[in-house]
Amino acid sequence: MIAIRSEEEIEIIRQCNQLVSKTLAEVAKYVRPGVTTLELDRRAEEFIRDHKAVPAFLGYKGYPKTLCTSVNYQVVHGIPSSYLLKEGDIVSVDCGVLYKGYYGDSAYTFAVGKVSDKVLRLLRVTYESLLLGIEAAKEGNRIGDIGYAVQSHCEKAGFSVVREMVGHGLGKSLHEPPEVPNYGKSGKGVKLKKGMVICIEPMINMGRKEIVQDPDGWTIRTSDYLPSAHFEHAIAVNKGKAEVLSTFQYIEEVYQLEGFNK
């Protein structure tokens, strides 16, 4: 059953996602060489709890931390650790909160210092594909229209789309129906209706699309150890343009990447 949310529910979910967005901006202040991903996690948990909310990922199906911090060739679900970020790394930071009985979920891939032009292009194309996916997420369209928008943009640029990991519905649970793949055919899949709340989250690889799960049971990495990028917004489907419930505005107030024209 796909939930159709009331305006009141969407407003609470928006508040949740705004808090996630502000948490990611707090984390952004500390993304630099020499900082551990565990320190980013500590800052995020403290910020979330200070704002009277609960880290949504912590304890979710046994997950041990507040953030997912996926570095370089890690696609998603990287566990914060004593790893020291280095100049030229990229790190996807995925964050969720539980607030007033509803969930927020968003992700952003940061560059640590200066990155190569190839990596910068991967980040830019992945970000652009998210925006194109959001443009396709309007009432009357179908889930396949979102996936097609993401896939066609990224593959045209020479990158590959992860198949096994997908976006999802969001609301009273962290992951709800429907699944939102980052690939697909226009006009196929679940019909989008006003009031549906979904997360669109392109996971795009520089090299091959295949992925592998590490022995920790969580971390997903590329099969060829080439970099992967990940951006995520929560949106509410509307008759016209989708309402984006999360935002990168707070991040961009404290973090700027030269050459990444958003």
What CATH number should be reported for the domain holding residue 80?
Answer: 3.90.230.10
Residue 260 located in a structural domain? no
pLDDT digits (tens, 9 = 90+) for 41-83: 999 999 999 999 999 999 999 999 999 999 999 999 999 999 9
Say what the pLDDT of residue 256 is.
Answer: 87
pLDDT at 99 over 90: yes
Domain range enclosing 30 = 7-254
Contact 168, 180 (CB under 8 A): yes
pLDDT digits 0-9 by tens, 8-51: 999 999 999 999 999 999 999 999 999 999 999 999 999 999 99
Tell me, what's the pLDDT at 262?
Answer: 54
Total-model pTM: 0.97
Number of domains in the chain: 1
Pair 10, 243: CB distance under 8 Å: yes
195 by DSSP, 3-state: which? coil
Angle at 127 between CA 124 and CA 132, to 5 degrees: 120
**Residue 85: its H or E element:** none
Count other Cβ atoms within 10 Å, centred on residue 61: 9
Write out pLDDT tens, residues 152-170. 999 999 999 999 999 999 9
**At residue 258, does pLDDT exceed 80?**
no
Calculate the average pLDDT of the chain.
97
Sheet containing 203-205, strands listed edge to edge, beginning at the edge strand earlier in sequence: 160-161, 203-205, 228-230
- Looking at the predicted structure, is the pLDDT value of residue 252 above 90? yes
259 occurs within a structural domain: no
CA distance 93 to 198: 19
